[in-house]
């Protein structure tokens, strides 16, 4: 049995990461950087690692080399739900959101740096651009970057995309909300 604000299944978690890949990565020393990540999954589709890269000069590199434990936070769709969207006057406003929290152990995989960049470029550019366009500059850039794999040790997810609305109230919110992306995610959770 799932809790009230759990995602329906592992596909929801993967979709949030795919749609909102920029995550906050936080070390035990409380240094933090927003970095784009790609989910790596097991045979059941559960996220087991997050793959990315960062500059070698990023404070996270020093931190994670000393202590690989960290936290990764993804913010998905979010928005205020005003009472004006409902015809019911005794309903209270709220905030709807979908977020992911992963406790991880970071492993630097320098020999996969090129792959990390190529995978991210392929995902984000969809074939419209390639690193070949950088020419010799690309090799120089690679010398200043390192790939990492953040192995998931635990995960918490909150897909609070509705609360105690009736079916009619929920339909009013979804139909009237100005953020159509948030409304789509809300409808997907019903």
Q: What is the pLDDT of residue 4?
A: 61
Q: For residues 62 and 88, which has the higher predicted lDDT (pLDDT)?
A: 62
Among the listed residues 165, 182, 180, the one whose alpha carbon sits nearest the alpha carbon of residue 86: 165
Tell me: pLDDT of 174 over 60. yes
Residue 96, beta-bridge partner list: 79
Q: Does the pLDDT of residue 1 top 70, yes or no?
A: no
| Beta strand pairing call for 22-27 and 32-36 | antiparallel
Length of the chain: 190
Are the C-beta atoms of residues 101 and 72 closer than 8 Å to each other? yes
Domain boundaries of the chain, sorted by first residue: 10-189
**What CATH architecture is 10-189?**
Roll (2.30)
Average pLDDT, rounded, for the chain = 93
pLDDT digits (tens, 9 = 90+) for 134-147: 999 999 999 999 99
From the list 101, 99, 105, the residue with the least C-alpha distance to 153 is 105
Confidence of residue 163 (pLDDT cuts 50, 70, 90): confident
What tokens were used for 177? Answer: 């909300």
Strand positions, DSSP E, 3-116? 22-27, 32-36, 38-41, 47-55, 69-81, 94-108
The structure tokens listed for 29 are: 């020393």
Beta strand 145-160 pairing with 32-36: unpaired
- Determine the Cα–Cα distance for residues 79 and 183; give it in Å rounded to an integer: 9
Backbone phi and psi for residue 111, each to the nearest 5 degrees, phi listed first: -70, -5
pTM: 0.92
Q: What is the CB-side half-sphere exposure of residue 42 using CA atoms within 13 A?
A: 7
Phi, psi (degrees; rounded to nearest 5) at 74: -110, 135
The radius of gyration of the chain from alpha carbons, rounded to an integer in Å, stands at 19
Percent share of the chain, pLDDT over 90: 84
Residue 186 has pLDDT above 60, yes or no: yes
Tokens 């936070």 belong to residue? 73
């Amino acid at each position: 049995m799932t809790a009230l604000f759990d995602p329906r299944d592992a596909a929801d978690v993967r979709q949030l990461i795919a749609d909102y890949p920029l995550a906050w990565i936080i070390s035990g020393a409380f240094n933090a950087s927003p970095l784009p990540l790609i989910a790596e999954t097991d045979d059941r589709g559960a996220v087991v690692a997050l793959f990315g890269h960062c500059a070698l000069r990023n404070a996270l590199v020093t931190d994670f080399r000393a202590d690989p434990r960290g936290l990764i936070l993804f913010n998905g769709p979010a928005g205020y739900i005003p009472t004006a969207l409902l015809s019911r006057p005794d309903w209270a406003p709220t905030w709807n959101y979908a977020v992911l929290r992963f406790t991880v152990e970071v492993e630097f995989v320098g020999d996969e740096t090129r792959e990390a960049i190529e995978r991210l470029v392929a995902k984000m550019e969809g074939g419209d651009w390639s690193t070949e366009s950088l020419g010799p500059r690309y090799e120089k850039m690679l010398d200043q970057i390192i790939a990492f794999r953040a192995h998931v040790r635990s995960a918490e997810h909150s897909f609070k995309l509705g609360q105690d609305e009736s079916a009619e109230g929920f339909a009013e919110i979804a139909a009237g909300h100005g953020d159509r992306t948030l409304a789509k995610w809300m409808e997907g959770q019903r």
